[in-house]
Structure 1
Amino acid sequence: MEQVLLVTLNGLTLAGVYFLVASGLTLIFGLMRVITLAHGTSFLLGGYLGYVIATATGNWVIGALGGAIAVGFLGLLIYHGLIRRFQNDDMRVALITLGVAIIGTDLMMASFGGLATQVPIEANVRQGVDVPFIGQYPLIRLLVLGIAIVVGVALTLFISRTRFGSRVRAGVDDSQMASATGVNVRVVFTVIFFLGSALAGFAGVVGGTLFPLQPGQDGTYLLYSLVVVIVGGMGSIPGAAVGAVLVGLVSQYTLVLAPTYALVLTFALMVVVLAFRPQGILGRTA
């Protein structure tokens, strides 16, 4: 029983990292219908920038905010400079963002090297705390889960309960009609792309605090983010949360029960969901 609870809690805390990454992709890919293959690169860059800033200042919060904001503005440059004019051409956007991802990965390799680095945080946060029926458990993993919950609730309220969120939904459903009613769709999409990129950068800092940062993670987190978004339903923040929980639990339980097939079974989850509900668990029917 103790091992089951431990694996479950590990899956939920891992799901917190997956959700933070996938929430940004949900905004960009799910709402704007922009296929960005550079999202994993934004994750890794945010982690490295957070590492540099947190190391220089000795403050994790400043590192997290600095990494998120820097990656957000870089995302704006990429969107307006490379993506916006081709936004309705999915193949061209995919190829452009793939090129950005390859260049970004090489630049990070040259700048930060191939060694694993971890974002520094106060030592007491890495200590264990007593969890009922489990025993000692790292406090940092519980904090990651809490951060993911707070971000998820905030994004859900932002999209569903605010005036700007209604403009976002209107611009996604029918951008021409929204423009005719006075909504500046360009500004709306700019804010969404900034927020999605910033969330990827923030997720990189959080993930880089929990696990060491190293080359190759950008592709891994991009794939897991796509699985989470597809399983949960494109454009749905609650759907991304459900997808992240399922992916996190499946990956952790398969690592314990069938480690050889862990990756295969994780992606099999996506196949099963698409077979029975193509729009995702909480996605809307087109």
Structure 2
Amino acid sequence: MRAITTRIEQASALDRVGDRLQRAVLATLRPQRVRDLLHGVWLGHPLHPAMVQVPVGAWISAAVVDLLPGQRRAATALVAVGTVSAVPAAVAGLNDWAALNRDQRRVGLAHAAANTVGLACYAGSLAARLTGRHGLGRTLAYLGLGAAGGGAYLGGHLAYKQGAQVNQSVSEAHLIGDGWHPVADLADLPDRQLVTRDVDDVSVILYRHGDDVTVMLERCPHQSGPLGQGEVRQIDGHPCVVCPWHGSAFRLNDGGKVVHGPAANDQQMLTTRVVDGVLQTRLP
């Protein structure tokens, strides 16, 4: 399986399909608020992994119920719930997929293809059950579960090996030593401008607004984009730093709250204080 996933990662031939599909997804899900909703910005972490629990749970339950006598109606209901709920979960997944790097999108295509086969099998299973062909329905359901299981393996590879939609910046915070660290003279910091500094070789951005200074990790949690090269915009009355790579936006005065995706996680903030005119920071 490792060799197969490695080959998929390196299969540049998939880019022709992937690039076209990416453009189609971005064109279809054009309003930013729709993309933010599907990314899970409002939830505080990606929405797709949460949504897939419904179809996966329903389909696994149907597989168990199919082994029991006299449970045809229950199994049919579970297959129906799983099949219907898989559609919005897939839309959320496509939205996340469109903001990934090419090697991630290749594995994502295989993940989506396996799940599409699984969904087609379950749709056929539901149709067979509703027309009284329960034996065929069970067969198609188990085939669908096998395909969905393969898709789940690829999804795990995508998240845990390739880091798709995982907060890629927070691990840097673990490299910062305990205690307070001097980062700059307060008088030298320009007002309402981004400044980049290092704390124990970890890059952070500083943003002064009056007597208050925000310090947050400089790497975007989505794909490690350089927030220090981003711009500051007012969004809903709050100053926000916008990632120059994919447009994720984080509040600079409200705990690093994410306001626009594709990032779905808040950005890590550091605690600050001023001692003898020197700005100091530490992990919270």
Q: TM > 0.5 between the two?
A: no
Q: Which has the higher contact order (CA 8 A, sep 6+)?
A: 1
Identify, as 1 or 2, the structure richer in strand. 2
Q: Which has the larger radius of gyration?
A: 2
Identify, as 1 or 2, the structure richer in helix. 1
TM-score by length of 2: 0.25
